[in-house]
Amino acid sequence: MKFALLAVTAIQLGTCVDASPAKDLAEKVEVNGWWEQETSASLENRAIKPGKTFALTQVKNTNYQVRGAPFDLLKTYAKYHTRPPKSLQGAIKTYSKAKGEEAISPRIGPKHGTQKGWVQAFPSFDFDSEYVVPVTIGTPGQRTYLNLDTGSADLWTFSSDTYLPAQRGHTLYKPKNSDTSKLVPGEKWSIEYGDGSGASGILYRDRVEIGETYVKSQAIESAIHVSESIFEDGFSHGILGMGFGRINSVLPTKQKTYMENVQDSLAEPVFTADLQKQRPGTYSFGYINKDQHKGSIYYQKSVSEEFWQVSLNGYRVGPGSFNPYSFTAIVDTGTTLLLAPGPIVKAYYARVKGARLHKRMGVMVFPCESHLPDFIFGMGPYRGTVPGHYMSYGENGDGSCYGGLQTSDDLPFAILGGILLKAQFVVFNIANHTIGFANKETINE
CA distance 331 to 302: 10
Residue 14: the pLDDT is 36
Residue 327: the pLDDT is 97
Please name the amino acid found at residue 165.
Answer: P
Other CB atoms within 10 Å distance of the CB of residue 77:
22
Residue 281: the pLDDT is 87
| Burial class, 317, CB count within 10 angstroms (exposed 0-12 / middle 13-18 / buried 19+) | buried
Which residues are known to be catalytic?
Answer: 149, 332
CA distance 192 to 107: 10
Residue 196: the pLDDT is 60
Residue 360: the pLDDT is 82
Residue 29: the pLDDT is 60
Residue 257: the pLDDT is 96
Residue 444: the pLDDT is 87
Q: Note the pLDDT tens digit of each residue in 131-165.
A: 788 899 999 999 998 888 999 999 999 999 999 88
CA distance 67 to 64: 9
Phi then psi for residue 4, to 5 deg, are: -110, 140
Q: Note the pLDDT tens digit of each residue in 54-95.
A: 788 887 776 655 567 777 788 788 788 787 777 777 666 665
CA distance 413 to 428: 19
Point out the residues of the chain with pLDDT beneath 50: 1-26, 40-42, 45-47, 97-129
Residue 264: the pLDDT is 93
CA distance 424 to 419: 10
Residue 401: the pLDDT is 92
Please name the amino acid found at residue 72.
Answer: D
